Amino acid sequence: MFSPLHFGLYFTSEHVQTARDQRDQPPFDMAWKLLHEYEETGVQAAPWLGLRYRFDDDALAGEQAAERLMDFAEHGFNPDMTYVDALQELLMQAHAFELIRDHAAMQARQDTFLPAFAERLNYLNTLEYDRSYVERVLLGLVNLVAGIVLEREDLFQYGVGTYETVVREDIHPQGYIQKAVEAHDGGGLLRQIMVVGALAQMAEAARHVGVDLWGYSFRGVSIMTAFSYLLYYYFYPDKWRWDAQVTNEAFAEYGAFLEFVNHHAYPKDLKPILDELRPLYDASRGGLTTLSHGMTGRPKRRLFG
């Protein structure tokens, strides 16, 4: 039975309690500071205020988030927006809604918001447009989270199918994603980061529906195969063989998913990267993930179970 957990798309009440219990310890201390001192504008403000509602029990922030969310839901897409921009905006709306879904101000508006959200999703799904590889993967992510928001298993399974296809057909056993890096146009590393990040978002959202995409593999290849390929190039971007004059700047801009990976697998080579980049935040890529998924050290492993 498809029964989504409605709380925050990528995290549960246990994540919130951990952040509260360890608020004075790194990396949570810097994430709390950012949450309280930074202000977002535009559509990004809705999920940002939603995080304050969830983590601080700030009812006023929840009401403000509902107002911001409805401002955007009641208007169409900006005609100057790119297809990727539209996908990212819908991801922000989905996350914001799940963060404040139980707030009275949002409950009173659900009958308006949900049809508008579904209409936007349908537009993105049916638009006659030659989508790039990254756009197709992002569309899979949007459908997966929309399936949770709308409680539609068909949409969720569309996203699951996208995820499994990438793992099964696109990730090389060495870790590179051929369809992302093969253009030799200078954007290969960025595209690999975006695809792996989208997969991590899918896996983390699916976890809270009881579906284990983190554990999905095909002939020994999984999301971690593609992720491990990336790690080396953070430290040595000049060694990236697909393009010339590559930098590691994309990790900072698109790296919020790194906290998801760390929380799931705790790769030892990831720690120095997180130490440099935290606190990690991206409104369309999981939110303030250092707050929701940060850890003070290596997780304890149980001997049994």
pLDDT digits (tens, 9 = 90+) for 82-139: 999 999 999 999 999 999 999 999 999 999 999 999 999 999 999 999 999 999 999 9
Average pLDDT over residues 288-298: 91
Residue 302 has pLDDT above 90, yes or no: no
Kindly calculate the radius of gyration of the chain based on its CA atoms and give it in whole angstroms.
19
Tokens 């606190």 belong to residue: 279
Q: What is the mean pLDDT of the chain?
A: 95
236-261 residue pLDDT tens: 999 999 999 999 999 999 999 999 99
Closest-CA residue to 226 (of 237, 238, 214): 214
Q: What is the pLDDT of residue 78?
A: 84
Residue 292 has pLDDT above 80, yes or no: yes
Q: What is the pLDDT of residue 207?
A: 95
- List CB contacts of 229: < 8 A, sequence separation 6 or more: 174, 175, 176, 192
Q: Where exactly are the structural domains of the chain?
A: 13-293
Residue 299 has pLDDT above 90, yes or no: no
Measured distance between the N- and C-terminal CA atoms of the chain, rounded to whole angstroms: 24
Q: What is the pLDDT of residue 305?
A: 34
Q: What is the pLDDT of residue 303?
A: 34
* CA 205 remoteness from chain centre: 8
Q: What is the pLDDT of residue 73?
A: 81
Residue 28 has pLDDT above 60, yes or no: yes
- List CB contacts of 268: < 8 A, sequence separation 6 or more: none
- CATH number listed for the domain at residues 13-293: 1.50.10.100
71-80 residue pLDDT tens: 988 887 888 8
Residue 27 has pLDDT above 80, yes or no: yes
Residue 300 has pLDDT above 60, yes or no: no
